[in-house]
Amino acid sequence: MAKPKSSYRCAGCGHQVAKWVGRCPECGEWGSIDEVAGVPTSSRTTAAVAPSSPALRITEVDAESSAAVPTGIGELDRVLGRGVVPGSVILLAGEPGVGKSTLLLEAVKHWAAKDRVALYITGEESAGQVRMRAERTGAVHPNVYLAAETDLATILGHADTVRPTLMIIDSVQTVVASGADGVTGGVTQIRAVTTALVSLAKNRGIAVILVGHVTKEGAVAGPRSLEHLVDVVLAFEGDKHSTLRMVRGVKNRFGAADEVGCFEQRDDGIHQVPDPSGIFLHQRDSDVSGSVTMVTMDGKRALVGEVQALANGTEMSNPRRAVSGLDFNRVAMVLAVLQARAGRKELAKSEVYLSTVGGMRVTEPAADLAIALSVYSTLTQRPVPQSTVVIGEVGLGGEIRRVSAVARRLAEAKRLGFREAIIPAATDEELPKGIRILRVANLGDAVHLRDSDPVDAPF
């Protein structure tokens, strides 16, 4: 038998190195490398061990055992891919106060209403606090079991006693594994806790949902391996100034990873919003200059929203640019193209304010043409008809580039009653009938689209 070989591991990130170093090469932490017990090495090949169960042909594997079970919340099921798969582990991450616990209590309520047992483990609140929130949101049900616990072994004991089909851990950063090194919420602890819970889910067929914290940059807190261990990673997003909340799929082994579910935070809990486009549209009686309707894609979902612009002349050498809900750098580029390619020299001496309606956040280039036309509309005081949607990416040469999923965008616009669409001339998709299509090749064509119309016509 060979002599045991020592190794060294970082207490912060778990990275292993062959010899001791003062600074971890992975995370850059100083003084975090500790020696760990080695295992005897041998030159002989590991002997084969008879498997406990033989390998099956893929045609003989029962697929029904992994069929998704609906949670009862349509928007959440949309992101998960028809529902929760038994034995799966789901990580739900979001900023503090965004409504993660409230959403999961809503899911637990619908789960228990179908005569299924759910176990809710809270490590950040007392059981009484969770009960008060459950009463406010109507989530009190005899099939819901509640425990305030942070010890991993005790949590596994609760699972043995209750035998739930759904278990919530709120949150994974508060659970402590007594056999693992590191502080609570540290890299080593989180990895050990998650590994044990994944093993529990796979062996017992229990669906486990872990609540995770996020860093100040918005990323999931903890080691990157945490996202690799779980089956599904969901990001719960929301603005404190808006009631709108979105659950976005980041990773999903059972469905599409780019789906988005929309919710609204109210006093009595979180309610799903199956048709969120109405939130992003301003209800106005007549056409207003500077307001343009656009259709953006958030994952696979087409959302109809509105961008509004306001331009005021100023004597300042550096006019102000204020942007809300849009990418500031993208807006600056569109304004520069509008000034150079569409002849709007007054932009150099104008303050420009741009905002989306309803707290919508847009980063995709398909909103470029809507931004340009909203600014042009407020400069000329000629409104874009509110029955028109605008789709297109603006290039630095003033060309209008085609974007993806135009047919899906137009289908959503048609469903909401829009009658006209301005799209890139190079679009080669099969477009839906019943909506008038206006194709433009460059920004000049777009801004002068109706110059031949009467004076009071839009643009």
Contact 101, 139 (CB under 8 A): no
95: annotated binding-site residue? yes
205: annotated binding-site residue? no
300: annotated binding-site residue? no
- Counting beta carbons within 10 angstroms of the beta carbon of residue 418, is it exposed (0 to 12), middle (13 to 18) or buried (19 or more)? buried
Parallel/antiparallel/unpaired status of strands 4-10 and 16-17: antiparallel
Contact 212, 180 (CB under 8 A): no
227: annotated binding-site residue? no
What is the spatial distance between Cα 274 and Cα 346, in angstroms, rounded to a whole number? 43
User: Rounded to an integer, what is the distance from CA 345 to the centroid of its chain?
Assistant: 39
What is the spatial distance between Cα 8 and Cα 39, in angstroms, rounded to a whole number? 12
Rg (CA), the chain: 28
Of the candidates 234, 262, 233, the residue with the CA atom closest to the CA atom of residue 248: 234
Per the DSSP assignment, residues forming a β-bridge with 307 are 292, 356
94: annotated binding-site residue? yes
Residue 235 to residues 250, 256, 389, 432, 433, Cα–Cα distance (Å): 7, 14, 29, 33, 36
**Residue ranges of the binding site for ATP:** 94-101
**Residue ranges of the binding site:** 94-101
